Structure 1
C-alpha cells in the first residue's frame, strides 16, 4: 500500500494563476490517539518558469503543538516544473487529554517568488481517548532496524539484509514462537535463524522455533537475500509471529525495503541485408536492458543523403524495453529514383544515422549509430538497353529541339508555403512570419501575401512584392537565397501583430497574359493575447462586524470588529500589476443590488493611486492589505473586485464590462454588519422609573393632570422606538406629556424594534381614583328615614341643611360631586387582566 492510498482526508487551498500550488494532506484523518504520531504532508508544485525556494512552517495558537513538533519549520528548493513534498511529524504524549487543536500551515516563497502571497491553510487535529489494550499478556515483538514508508532500508543488489526480531513473552507460561516471512518475490532468499537450545549432556535441540520463559525475551534473526539484479521499487516483506500456546494469535509487522534503480541500456544496429539490387535493405535495432527498470527509448532516424534518394521504414519509433530483456525493432531501407542506379563500380552508398533518446533522459550506450545502404550496379545485360536507346537518337534530337526552342517556358511552382511557427505571443512583441520555396523564380511577376481570419476577413496585408526583370525585390533580399532554379525564403515578416488567428495566403502571378495564378495557404496561426490582470484573492478581514454606535457593549459585541468610518477592510492580490489601468470595487447586498461602486484609477502604469499607497505594494503581484471600503451600514453584503487592463478601451468604466477587456470579478463571502443590540436604559413617569401599575389620585370634578413620560434607549441607526397608544414612532431619547383617560386605566407601552426583528418592550398601566369616595348605601338609608318622618298628605321638603338630606351630605361625608372609589376592591387594571376574546 502506497502513501497516497493511506491518505483519507486531504485539504487543499490554491490561489489561481499562482506559480506555486500547495496541497496539505493528513495521513490519519486528522485524528490521533495519545502516544501515537501524527504525520502531515505538504506537497508543493512549481508551475512557474523559475527555480523556487519555499519556507513551510506550522503556526499554532496552542503551546502544545509547538512542543509536539520537533521540526515545525522546513525549507524546500524546487526547480521549475517540479514537485516536492515535506513531512511534519507530531508526537502526541501518552498523558494527553481528548481535545481539538487548531493550527495553520504557512508557506512563504523566497527569492524569485518572494512577492507572491499564499494564504495559510487551516487544519484541525482531534486527540482521541487513549485506546485500552484488551490484554496485557499477549506477546510483543520489535524489529531492528525500524523502517517507515518514508525511511526504508536501501538494499543493494545481491546483498543480504539482516533483521533482528526481539520477542517478549508477557504471559505466565513458557511459550515457543515461530516466524514466517511472506510478500517477497520468489527470487529472494529468506533465512530464519533461531537460537540453539543446549540441553544437558551436550545435546543440541532443533532450531526451528524460539522458546521464551515467562517475562523473558528472545531474539530471532532473519536474513533477506536479494537477487543479483532485482527490479527497482519498494518491497514490503510481512513477518508473522505465531505462538505455540495461542495458535489463533498472529502478530504482523512490515519491513520497508527499497531497491534503487539501475539504468543500463545498450543499443546495436545489425545489418541483415545492406547490399541490395531490387528488394529493400534490412536492418535490426537491438536494445538490451541490463538494468532493473523499464526503459522507453525514442528512435530518431535521419538520412545523410539527399532527400528522397532513399526511403526508410521503421517499425516503431518508440520502444519499451523490460528489465533484463532484449527488444528488436526491424528497419527497412529502399533506394528511390531508379534512373540514378549506377552502371559500373562498387555501387551507390546511402548513409544514415539513428539517434536514441531516453524518455527519462537516462544514458544509452551508444547514443547514436550509423549505417549504410549499398545499391549494387546494374547487371551487364542492361547495357543492351543503351544500344536500343541509340536507335532512338534521331527522335531524341527532335525532342530536344522542341524542348529547348519550341517548348513553352516552365511556369513557376510553389513547393512549400508555411508559417514559421504556429503560435506567437503579443506580450513578446512577436509578429507572424512565413516561409516559402518556389521553383523557377525567374518566371515570377508578383507575389502577394495576405492574412485572413478563419472566417475570411482580411486581418493583415496585402503585401505585394514585384519581380522586375526577374530580379529579387529589395524587401526580400535579407530573407531569401536563390540557388539555380529554386528560390528559398525564410523568416519573412508579415504585418500581423494583433492577437487573433490568421490564415496566410500567398498568390503567385506568373509572367504571361494567359498564365493562371497559383494560390497557397498556411495552416492557422495564432497570436496569443497579452495576459490580463486577474484578481486571484479577495479576503475580508472579518466576516462579521458590529455597528459603530455609542453606549455600553455586550461581551459578544466587544469580541467583534467595529465597522467604523473606514468600514469593512479587505485584502486582495492581483496579477500583472504593470498592466492595471483601474480597479473597480462594487458592493452588493444579499439580494444582488448594488450599494456602492469605488474606482481606483492608475494615472501611470505601475503607479499606485493615492488612496491605495498606504495599503498596497507592487511586486510580481499587487498585494493590498487592510484596504478601507467605507461600507459601514447594517446589513449583509458581498464585495466584488475587478481589474481593468491598460489595453482596455477608455470608455470601459461602465457597469457592464466587456468579456474581451476585463475578466470576471472576484467575489467575497457574505459579510454581515450586525446592528447594535438595543437596551432600554430608562423609562420614567413623572421623573421615576415606571412600575408595572401606577395609581394616581384625582379629586372629583378635578381636571385630569398630564403624565410626564421620559425614556432613554441605547441602539444603532436601524433601531426603531415606538410609544403606544400615542404618539407612535419617537426618537431614542425623549420626553412628552401624556393625557390620562378618565374611565378605566391607560396602558403605555415603550417598544424597541431592530432590523433583524428583535423586539424589546416595557409597559405601565396608569389608573386614576378618588381618594374621598361617597358611601352610596348610607345616603340611601338617610333618604328613607327622612321620607317616613314627613306627613304623607303634605310632604315638605327637607331643610337645606338637614342631616341626612340627599341634597346636603352628612357631616364628614364627601361632596356629592366627588368621584367615588371603585365599588369592587378586587377589580384589575386592563394590563393585569388575562386576555379575553370579544
Structure 2
C-alpha cells in the first residue's frame, strides 16, 4: 500500500504501485483517508485530466465526503479501460483536497500508473504471477525520444511474486538484433573486472531485480514512431506470455551533403563536365530534382543532369553527371583568357523537406576561339559579299516561273467520277495565265485557260511564297477512256515559259451486267401449243442492268423480241415473285407463252444503265433450243340428220342437215368440206340437198400432224319406194371413216 501523511490527513492507496489490465478490462482502486486533524473536514477525492481518457465507466470519478476528526473512510473507484486503448504505461494523478478546512496542507497529489497490457499476454491466474515494469514509461502520447549517437536506456523492473527462485530472460521480437542490447546484472560471483556471462536475471522468492535495455537504432533507420514489443520469459512458468510496448520516436534528420567536382572546367569546343556527389546523412527518404542557373546577367549555357531526378535512402550516396553546354556561339571570345561563366546548383525536394542553406557553385571557362576561326570568319565575310551580289543579280534577273509537277490525284477512275489533278507552279507572279488541255480516244481535244488570280480561290488552289499549289482540281473529263493532260504556263499571250504532261489517266467503265455462264435454261425442251415455257437465269452486276430482252432467233436468222423487262427502277412488277436481287439477279421459272408451234432458238440480251456502254458490246446469253408441237386432233362427229353411217339411203332431192364436230385448236387446223371445198370451223352444220357423196377433211397448218377425213355415201331412194327391211337398212348405212 502507498501511504502518505500530512499533519492533518493520512491517505492509503491500494494497490499502491501500478494498475494492470487489457483494453476493455474493468479495474478498481481503493483509497483510505484518515482525518488526523483537530476538526471535522470536507474532503474531495478526484483524478487529473490525463485519467479521463482512460475511463469508460458511468460511475463518478470523484468523491466528496465529510470526515470527523480522528475518523477514517474508504473510497472505492471502478472504471473500464477503453477497448481501443493502445498498449503502454500511462501516468495519472489522484488528488485529495480539503480547501475549506485545511487550505494550507492540501491539495495532496499522488502520482500513479496504469499499464495497458497487450491482448496476446497471458491472463494472470493468481497473485503469484511475476510482473515487470518498464521505466521510463511510454505510451502513444508520451513517446521516448531517441537522440542519434546516444543509446536510449530503459530499466525493466521484474517482480518475482512466487515462493520459488526463478530465472527471467528479456527479448525484443519486433527489433533486429542490431537495434538493442540487453544487459543483465552480475551475480556477484565474478572476479573483479570480469563482465557477467549470465543471459538472464535470477531472483529469489518474493524479490525484485532490474534488467538494463539499451536501444540504439542503426544510422540508416528511417525517422518515425516505432512501438516494439518487450517480452519477458519466466523459466519456471514458460506458458506465461508477459508483454509490454515501448513507444520510441526517432526524430527526423535532414542532413544532406552536396559536393561539386570538376572534370572538364575549361574548353573552347566541348561542353563542360562536372560530377555532383549527393550523400543523404539523414534518416528520411529524399526525392530530389536537380537544376542549375547562371549567376551572371545572361543565361549562356544549357545545364543537363544525368539523371535529372534522384532518390536517396538514408546513409546512401549517388553521383550525378552535369554537362554545361554553351548555347550562344557568337558570344565565344576571339582573344584573351576566355569567358568565365558562373553557375549555381539548385535542388528541389519533391516532399518539401529542408535543404542545405548553401548549395555548391561552379565556374566554366569558355576559352577563346582557335586561330583557324579567323579563316572561317574571312570566308563568312566573302560569302556574305557573294550572297549579296547574287541577291542583287536575282532581283534584276528574277528566276523564271516553273511548273514543278503535274499529276493526277489517282491513276484510274471509275465511270461517273471526274478526273482531278494536282500541280504546283513556282514564281507564279511572273505568269499571266495557265492553259490546261486534255486529249482522249474518240474525243475532240479540249483546252481551258485560267488567269492566275482566278485560280487563287483558297478552295482547291492557293498561293503562298509566290508558289501556286492546286490540289484536287476537278476537270471536265468524265467519259470513259484514256486521257493525257498538259499544263502550259504563259508569261503573256504568246510567250510560253514551261509545260508539263501527265502519263495516261483512265476512266474505266462500270462493270456491265452479264448472264452467268450456263445459267439460262428452260424447264424442258419439248412443249405442246398452249403449254407454258418456264425460263431461269442469273445475271451478275445487276445494279447496272437497265433492261432485259428475251429474243427468238428464227431459222431464217430474223430476231424477234418475245419478252422485254425494264429494270431501271428495280425488279419489274411482273418478275417480283420469280426474281431476287443480291450480288446477282436470280430469276426462276419466269413464264413465257408460245402460241405457234415450231422450233425456237431463245437467248437473253441485257442492256446497261451506263450511257457510255454500247448494247452491241454487251454479251448475250448462250441460246437454248426448244420445240413446240401442235396438239393432236380428231373428228368427233360427222353425220347427216345426226346419223354417222358412212352409207345412207335418202330420198332423192330431199333437203338434209349435215353436222360436224372436230376436236382441235381452230388456229392450228384447216377444216374443209370436200363436196363443196368450203372452209369451216371446228363445229358447225348446214342444210344440203341430197347428193351422192359428202365429206370432211382436217389438216395441220404446220404440217406436224397427219391429215384426217371422213365421207358419207348417199344412195338416192326413188320416191314412193317401199321401206327397206331392217337388216337391209343396217347393211346399207354401215359407215366408214377414211384416213388419207
Q: Give yes or no for TM over 0.5.
A: no
For normalisation by structure 1, the TM-score amounts to: 0.34
- Which has the greater radius of gyration? 2
TM-score normalised by L of structure 2: 0.38
